[in-house]
Amino acid sequence: MAEVSNKTPDPMDVALGAAVRIRRRTIGMSQEALAEQCGVSFQQIQKYENGANRISFSRLVQIARALRCRVVDLMDVLDTPGHDATGDLDLLSRMRTPGALELLAGFERLPAEARTSLVSFMRALTNADASRQKEVA
């Protein structure tokens, strides 16, 4: 009888997948186009980007070529000497949240004063939500 694994993806696999997704989205490439260039299905690209499937080195080279970048550009956040990558991994995980890249792109286009106001609004909104959750508990 085969053993079924309920193991969650390794954070490094998730972070590498997120780096691939961010690069792909940054250059405006679809999962389908990346899959075609790498000779895999778009579902496989989804699995790579979610960290559900590990990316072999040879596949990573193919992906980097298709994304017109170097392999180290995709792996840089994972292995910077003397640097605790925990915060970077957290950032990459957060960037996987649906809408995060679009929100960041819009945020970058805002004038500085509007950015400051928006950040203040978000802090107030999330603090109010946290307070409501404490009251319920």
Region 12-39 average pLDDT? 92
Please say whether the dihedral angle defined by the alpha carbons of residues 25, 28, 32 and 36, taken in this order, is positive or negative.
negative
Contact 25, 101 (CB under 8 A): yes
Do 69 and 93 fall into the same domain?
yes
In a domain, 1, yes or no: no
Shared domain for 131 and 105, answered yes or no, is yes
What does the block give as tokens for 6?
Answer: 């309920």
* Co-location of 85 and 107 in the same domain: no
Q: Summarize pLDDT for 70-121 with one digit per residue, the tens.
A: 999 898 767 655 545 556 666 766 777 788 888 888 888 999 999 999 989 9
Asked if residue 92 and residue 25 are part of one domain, the reply reads yes
- Domain count across the chain: 2
Provide the 8-state DSSP code for 9.
Answer: P
Structure tokens at 104: 């960041």
One domain, residues 82 and 119:
no
Give pTM, 2 decimals.
0.65
In a domain, 2, yes or no: no
Domain assignment of residue 125, given as a range: 98-137
Q: Please tell me whether residue 108 adopts helix, strand or coil conformation.
A: helix
